[in-house]
Amino acid sequence: MADEIILRVTRYRPEQSPLPFHEDFAVPFRNDMMVLDALAYVKDHMDGSLAFRWSCRMGICGSCGASVEGTPRLTCSTFLHEIRKPIVRVGPLGHFPVIKDLVVDMDDFMRKLQQVMPWIIRESEKPLERGEYSQLPEQVELYRQQSLCINCMICYAGCPVYGLEPEFIGPAALALAYRYNVDTRDHGSKERLARLIGRTGLWECTYVGECSVVCPKNVDPAGAIQRLKAPGAIQAIQILLPPILRR
Amino acid sequence: MPSTWWLRNPRYFLYMLREVTSIFVYLYALAFVVQFLLLADRGLFDAFRVLFTSSVFRAFTGVVLVMAVVHAITWWSLNAGVFRIRLRGRTLPPAALFAGGMLAWIVVSGLVYLLVFRGF
């Protein structure tokens, strides 16, 4: 690769211009350089006004998601040399309102996350002296994959259904609903499913599968949503039955 | 989102292709079911059978077969990429999932063919 790479960044500064525009930055190239390193170089040496989120630099915090060459990715986990292009396009995550440059508004995602109640719901708590709620390794394995979600919202940026229907609860929130529904310590699956079987929930997912492809932690939201559909359908049918026939 | 969103990404394109192929399969299934509804009227049923065995309908059947194959390939390749199935402590590779799915589809299709057209 050349000693230099052009980073074509989508800029958006609503206080100066109502429309987004592209700006090119020639960044020195190293083989071990991530896209985030290039953005940091621009901010430190070329334009301090460039806005982007980042924190851990190791694919854990989920802050640095952006669209790299049209694909939503964590910029801290994407090598520049993987892209193999002299000009690398970086923009904000798709389907979210942009606040400034690469910083998007997360409020909609946070609202949807709370909607699915991503916490353990107990019918009753046992006294502390009776110890913790223990689980067997195979019980942990039921939800381990979905518990790896880092809320980076990359699946939302990849999901065309969310782009077309913004009210859709979306992949990460539904994957987390699945994660708690299959947790043997949880008693809230019916309550949670009741929130998911409406118009904006499970049935909006048409199984494009892009959320699982782009997920940087292999959470497999598409698989989790499909696995929620069977109990969701059963619960939806049960609502139509007379109370005596409901379980 | 622009109406051409599905041209942005090859995986979106494959998704749309898979959705479109369903329409052909649906139309064939509809024509197949209509036969049974017409059984009550022998004249109508015979007329429909003539239509069903015409060269135009045979060509349509060929198109449906191609669409069904495309649908199966895109659907199972999607599943293979999406699902991570563990067997004896190991995650099955996507190629094995795809091959297993296609094999199951071919076996079930063969059984349906034998049942419907050969009566076992």
Q: Is the pLDDT of residue B99 over 80?
A: yes
| Fold of the A4-104 domain | Ubiquitin-like (UB roll) (3.10.20)
Rounded to whole angstroms, how far apart are CA atoms A79 and B78?
A: 26
Residue B12 contacts A, CB cutoff 8 Å: yes
* Chain A environment of B8 (Cβ under 8 Å): 70
Chain A, residues 115-144, CB within 8 A of chain B, namely 141
Residue A222 contacts B, CB cutoff 8 Å: yes
Place of tokens 């995650």: B91
Q: A107-245: same fold as A4-104?
A: no
Residue B102 contacts A, CB cutoff 8 Å: no
Which of A70, A164, A222 is facing B82, going by the closest CB pair? A222
For B31, other C-beta atoms within 10 Å of its C-beta total: 16
The first and second tokens of residue A10, run together, are 């989508």
Which of A207, A208, A218 is facing B12, going by the closest CB pair? A208
CATH number of the structural domain spanning residue B94:
1.20.1300.10
ipTM over 0.90: no
Q: Is the pLDDT of residue B35 over 70?
A: yes
DSSP-derived secondary structure letter, A127: P
The domain segmentation of chain A, as residue ranges, is 4-104, 107-245
Q: Is the dihedral of CA B65, B67, B71, B74 positive or negative?
A: positive
* Chain B environment of A207 (Cβ under 8 Å): 78
The first and second tokens of residue A142, run together, are 């039921």
Q: Inspect the interface and report whether the beta carbons of B78 and A209 lie closer than 8 Å.
A: yes
Q: Do residues A142 and A157 touch, judged by C-beta distance below 8 A?
A: no
Range of the domain at B104: 5-118
The first and second tokens of residue B38, run together, are 């017409």
Residue A213 contacts B, CB cutoff 8 Å: yes
pLDDT of chain A, 247 residues: tens digit per residue: 568 999 999 999 999 989 999 999 999 999 999 999 999 999 999 999 999 999 999 999 999 999 999 999 999 999 999 998 999 999 999 999 999 999 999 999 999 999 999 999 999 998 999 999 999 998 999 999 999 999 999 999 999 999 999 999 999 999 999 999 999 999 999 999 999 998 899 999 999 999 999 999 999 999 999 989 989 999 988 888 877 776 6
Report pLDDT digits (tens) over A26-42: 999 999 999 999 999 99
- Nearest chain A residue to B5 by CA: give it: A160
Q: State whether residue A86 is helix, strand or coil.
A: coil
pLDDT at residue A238, as a whole number? 87
Rounded to whole angstroms, how far apart are CA atoms A221 and A172?
A: 6
Show the CA angle centred on residue A24, arms to residues A23 and A28, nearest 5°.
145
Residue B13 contacts A, CB cutoff 8 Å: no
Q: State whether residue A66 is helix, strand or coil.
A: strand
Q: Is the pLDDT of residue B120 over 80?
A: no
pLDDT at residue A111, as a whole number? 96
**In CATH, A107-245 is 1.10.1060.10:** yes
Q: Inspect the interface and report whether the beta carbons of B5 and A163 lie closer than 8 Å.
A: yes
Place of tokens 């019980």: A139
Report pLDDT digits (tens) over A52-78: 999 999 999 999 999 999 999 999 999
pLDDT at residue A163, as a whole number? 96
Find the DSSP H helices in A148-217: 154-158, 160-164, 171-181, 189-196, 210-214
The pair phi, psi for residue A82, each rounded to 5°, is -65, -30
Total domain count, chain B: 1
Q: Do residues A223 and A182 touch, judged by C-beta distance below 8 A?
A: no
Assign B80 a pLDDT band (cuts: 50, 70, 90). confident
Q: How many Cβ pairs closer than 8 A exist between chain A and B?
A: 42
Report pLDDT digits (tens) over A146-172: 999 999 999 999 999 999 999 999 999
- For residue A61, what are the contacts with CB-CB under 8 A and spacing of at least 6? A55, A150
- For chain B, the first-to-last Cα distance in angstroms comes to 51
The pair phi, psi for residue B87, each rounded to 5°, is -135, 125
